[in-house]
Amino acid sequence: MDLSDEKAKPYIEDGGPADPAWHLLAARQGMGKAVAGKLPARKRPRLMAYDDVVACALRGRRGFWLWLREQLRADDLLLARKLRELRTNAAMPGLVSDVRVLDVVLWMGHRRQHCPHSCPGLPRTPARCC
């Protein structure tokens, strides 16, 4: 199911199936948060995607999955519809999930400014283009 799906919440909330799995993976020595997020994303690509650059861009928000789910569902699924429109306009296959499209957009928008320590994340207002 998609993260924006009404039934997704129990899977991603604290204590839900994704929560202990991610914590167990992230706690393994040498695993790291990004790899711990990518493994479940491989199994449930419509529900999860995680990357250090994306987490940094969003400033390491606590409760990330619940927050993101609410963003996708807000305003009659406005963000989810925009991500699907981007996927269509980019001629990406329908198998590419909304969260993966968002992952790519955020990664592309922040990768050049990203630094592993003390990174400020994406600006709150859009950057001006020259």
pLDDT tens digits along 27-82: 888 877 777 777 777 777 777 766 777 777 776 666 778 888 999 999 999 999 99
* pLDDT over 60 (residue 124): no
pLDDT higher at 128 or 8:
8
* Tokens 């306009």 sit on residue: 89
Mean pLDDT of the chain: 79
* Contact between 97 and 42 (Cβ < 8 Å): no
Whether the predicted pLDDT of 121 surpasses 70? no
* pLDDT tier for residue 126 given thresholds of 50, 70 and 90: very low
Please, what is the angle between helix 18-27 and helix 32-43, to 10°? 140
Q: How confident is the model at residue 114 (pLDDT cuts 50, 70, 90)?
A: confident
pTM: 0.73
